[in-house]
Amino acid sequence: MRRGLRLLLVTVMVCTLLTGCGNVETAALETMSKSETETEKAENKTDTSDWPTVTLGICPLQEVTDLQLVNDALNGYLESINAGVYADILCLEAGNLSTTLTLMLSSTEQPIDLFTNLFYGTLNDIIANDQCVPLDDYLKEYPEVIDVIGEKFLPFGRMKGIQYGLPIVNAYASLNTYALRRDIAETIGADDLDGKKITFDDLTEILIDAKEAYPELCFFTDAGVSLGIGIDTLGDNSYEGVLLNRGVDTNEIVNYFETDEFNRYLDYTKKWSEAGLFADDPLNNSNTIAGMLNNGLAGGEFFGAYSVEAARSGMNTYGDFVIYQINDAIANASSGGSAYFISSVSQHPDAAMKMLALLYTDPVVATYVAQGIEGIHYVVDDNGCSWYPEGKDLSNVNWCAGTFFYFPNGTLTYPFETDNADYYKGMNKSNAECEITEGLGFVFDNSSVYDEYSAVANVVTEYLKAIIYHQVDVNEYLPKFRQELKAAGIETVIAEKQAQYDAFLADK
- Report pLDDT digits (tens) over 1-35: 444 444 444 444 444 443 344 444 443 444 444 44
pLDDT for residue 508 is more than 70:
yes
The DSSP code for 151 is G
Confidence check: pLDDT of 107 > 50? yes
What percent of the chain is helix, strand and coil (3-state, nearest 5)?
A: 50, 15, 35
259 with 111, same domain: the answer is no
Query: What are the pLDDT digits (tens) for 280-309?
Result: 999 998 888 889 999 999 999 999 999 999
pLDDT at 162: 94
Question: Does one domain contain both 134 and 273?
Answer: no
Looking at the structure, tell me whether residues 181 and 274 fall in a common domain. yes
Domain identity same for 78 and 115: yes
The answer to whether residue 303 is domain-embedded is yes
- Which residues does 316 contact at the CB level (< 8 Å), separation at least 6? 417, 418, 419
In a domain, 147, yes or no: yes
Helices in 214-254 by DSSP H: which ranges?
Answer: 224-227
Do 116 and 156 fall into the same domain? yes
Res 447: pLDDT: 92
Q: Under a CB-based contact definition with an 8 Å cutoff, are residues 133 and 166 in contact?
A: no
Position 243 in a domain: yes
Q: What radius of gyration do the chain's Cα atoms show?
A: 25
pLDDT tens track for 322-357: 999 999 999 999 987 799 999 999 999 999 999 999
Question: Alpha carbon of 28 to those of 7, 332, 357: distances in Å?
Answer: 17, 34, 14
Q: Contact, 32 vs 364, CB < 8 A?
A: yes
pLDDT digits (tens, 9 = 90+) for 254-286: 999 999 999 999 999 999 999 999 999 999 988
- Structural domain contains residue 442: no
Does 47 fall in a domain? yes
CA–CA dist 92, 59 (Å, integer):
5
Taking the C-alpha atoms of residue 63 and residue 397, their distance in angstroms, rounded to an integer, is 8
Which pLDDT does position 34 carry in this prediction?
A: 43
Burial class from Cβ neighbours inside 10 Å (0-12, 13-18, 19+) for residue 92 reads buried
Residue 45 is predicted with a pLDDT of 58
Burial classification of residue 189, based on how many CB atoms lie within 10 Å of its CB (0-12 exposed, 13-18 middle, 19 or more buried): exposed
Residues in contact with 144: Cβ distance below 8 Å, sequence separation at least 6, in sequence order: 357, 361
The enclosing domain of 29 has a CATH number of 3.40.190.10
Distances (CA, A) of 85 to 146, 202, 459: 21, 57, 51
> What is the arithmetic mean of pLDDT over 488-508?
96
Q: Which of 335, 362, 382 is the last residue of a domain?
A: 335
Residue 461 pLDDT > 80: yes
Residue 70 is classified by DSSP as: H
Residues 11 and 121 in one domain: yes
Confidence check: pLDDT of 102 > 60 = yes
Would 439 be classed as within a structural domain?
no
Residue 18 Rama label (left phi>0; alpha psi -120 to 50; beta): alpha
Residue 441: inside a domain, yes or no? no
Whether residue 503 has pLDDT greater than 90: yes
**What's the pLDDT at 12?**
42
Structural domain containing residue 121: 2-170+338-434
Mean pLDDT in residue range 39-61: 79
User: Could you tell me which residue, 184 or 34, shows the higher pLDDT?
Assistant: 184
pLDDT at 400: 87
pLDDT at 171 > cutoff 60: yes
Range in 233-237, 335-339, 387-391 the model is least confident about: 335-339
Phi, psi of 114, deg, nearest 5? -120, 140
Mean pLDDT for 357-361 is 98
What gap in Å lies between CA 256 and CA 464, rounded to an integer?
A: 12
When pLDDT is cut at 50, 70 and 90, the band that residue 111 belongs to is confident
- Rounded to whole angstroms, the Cα distance separating 17 from 73 reads 13
Residue 471 has pLDDT above 90, yes or no: yes
Same domain, 473 and 430: no
Residues 6+ apart with CB under 8 A from 483: none
Classify the phi-psi angles of 319: left when phi > 0, otherwise alpha if psi is within -120 to 50, otherwise beta. Answer: left
Tell me what percent of the residues of the chain surpass a pLDDT of 70. 91
Domain count, the chain: 3
Percent of the chain topping pLDDT 90: 79
Residues 227 and 84 in one domain: no
Is residue 125 located within the same domain as residue 258? no
Residues 301, 280 share a domain: yes
Q: What is the pLDDT of residue 44?
A: 53
CA distance 218 to 293: 10
Same domain for 284 and 313, yes or no, is yes
Look at residue 33 in the predicted model and tell me its pLDDT: 45
**Better pLDDT: 15 or 315:** 315
- Mean pLDDT for 468-477 is 97
* Domain finish residue from 309, 335, 361: 335
Do residues 281 and 301 share a domain? yes
Identify the CA nearest to 381 among candidates 422, 344, 414. 414
Q: What is the mean pLDDT of the chain?
A: 90
